[in-house]
Amino acid sequence: MTSADIKARARSLGFDACGIAPASAHPELAFFPEWLARGYAGSMTYLHRSADRRADARNVLPTARTVIATATVYNTDRPYSTEMSNGGRAQIARYAWGDDYHDVIGARLEQLVNWMRRESPEPFDARAYVDTGPVQERVYAQHAGIGWIGRNTCVISPTLGSWTFLGVILCSLPLEVDAPALDQCGTCTLCIEACPTHAIVAPGVLDSTRCISYLTIEHRGDIPADQRAGIGSHVYGCDVCQEVCPWNALAPRSEDPAWQPRPAWDAVDLVALSKRSDGDLASALRGSAMRRAKAQGLRRNVAVALSNAEIEVEADR
């Protein structure tokens, strides 16, 4: 079983790109403790707790020699939030419109590992993660040649753009590795300028505590009053720094049924969203990546967005 065999199998399982990186402490990983020390993780305490393991994939799987990195396009045929002038439209990040990627990509990674176990003449250790483990997926994806880490901090593939989910398999097999992807941001700074809350504090450095994605998904409790206006009509996540990226101007779209927008989240209006019953919201969130914020978090965000749009909603009697 060669690296080429694994990549071909990955393609047939629905991954749009697959590359292989050495399982080592790549230089970019040294930046992580500094990022934490600057307070940029906010209340995401799990990042602090797992910092030691994140320094090197071998701290997670000691026998690891390689990291198989995958990218899956989730972009669909819908306008960008930056193309809309309607302040009454609820903005939901496009990664969250379809099925929960943890479930879908997780199952596909497992299928890839199972196939490798059948094909490999020797037994091996493997551990698969999609956003779920103490592994800096972007760093390994860059070293696997999938794409470079852009100024907006996202992994940008020269052919796929950045509307991709990443997934990794730490593996003990000494597979042939790829060359790292080269930075192609050039002199462009559109993402840094476009961020509504100035969360990209330096090229490739994001202060989560200012990022709308963090505020609407990860942050618990009230959103601080001075940060509400910047959120605009974003009710779950934010895509602005990717929407303005020239590498996404011609980004491919996925036909995979898993990522097609669920009717409940497709072109949804703030007022209509605010009027949905708890039961209705709970069932729409089931199996969706948006379940992370829960109905309560979504209601908090919708209230902020309504206030930003100066829309008053009359209670139904």
Q: What residues are annotated to the active site?
A: 131
Q: Which is nearer to ligand SF4, 18 or 212 (CB)?
A: 212
Q: Which is nearer to ligand B12, 5 or 80 (CB)?
A: 80
Site string for ligand B12, 190-219 (x = CB under 6 A): --------------xxx-x--x-xx---x-
Site string for ligand B12, 47-66 (x = CB under 6 A): x-------------------
Q: Which does 138 bind (CB under 5 to 8 A by kind): ligand B12, ligand SF4, none?
A: ligand B12
Pick from 214, 215, 143: nearest CA to 183: 143
Stretch that binds ligand SF4, among 63-71, 189-197, 265-273, 305-313 (CB under 6 A): 189-197
- Other Cβ atoms within 10 Å of 180 Cβ, number: 19
Q: Which does 195 bind (CB under 5 to 8 A by kind): ligand SF4, ligand B12, none?
A: ligand SF4
Q: Which is nearer to ligand B12, 136 or 172 (CB)?
A: 136
DSSP state, residue 215: I
Q: Which is nearer to ligand B12, 5 or 106 (CB)?
A: 106
Q: Counting contacts by CB under 6 A, is residue 165 touching ligand B12?
A: yes
Size of interface with ligand SF4, in residues (CB under 6 A): 13
Distances, alpha carbon 105 to alpha carbons 19, 79, 164, in Å: 16, 25, 11
- Sheet containing 17-22, strands listed edge to edge, beginning at the edge strand earlier in sequence: 17-22, 66-73, 164-171, 126-129
Tokens 């097609």 — which residue? 260
| Contact with ligand SF4 (CB under 6 A) among 72, 142, 157, 213 | 213
Task: Name, in order, each residue with C-beta under 8 angstroms of 279's C-beta and a sequence gap of 6 or more.
Answer: none
Q: Counting contacts by CB under 6 A, is residue 304 touching ligand SF4?
A: no
Backbone torsion region of residue 126, taken as left when φ is above 0, otherwise alpha when ψ lies between -120 and 50, otherwise beta: beta
Give the whole-angstrom CA distance, residue 137 versus residue 145: 12
| Contact with ligand SF4 (CB under 6 A) among 67, 73, 206, 270 | 206
| Contact with ligand SF4 (CB under 6 A) among 41, 61, 175, 241 | 241
β-pairing, 155-156 vs 164-171, is unpaired
Q: Which two tokens stand for residue 122?
A: 């020797």
C-beta of 244: minimal distance to ligand SF4 in Å? 8
Interacting positions 126-155 with ligand SF4 (CB under 6 A) = 152
- Other Cβ atoms within 10 Å of 270 Cβ, number: 24
Pick from 224, 230, 222: nearest CA to 198: 230
Pick from 234, 255, 219: nearest CA to 305: 234
Q: Which does 208 bind (CB under 5 to 8 A by kind): ligand SF4, ligand B12, none?
A: ligand B12
Q: Counting contacts by CB under 6 A, is residue 223 touching ligand B12?
A: no
- Other Cβ atoms within 10 Å of 306 Cβ, number: 21
Sequence letter at residue 299? R
Stretch that binds ligand B12, among 134-142, 171-179, 248-256, 305-313 (CB under 6 A): 134-142
Binding site for ligand B12 (CB under 6 A): 28-29, 31-32, 35, 44, 47, 93, 95, 130-131, 135-139, 149, 152-155, 162, 164-166, 204-206, 208, 211, 213-214, 218, 237-239, 241
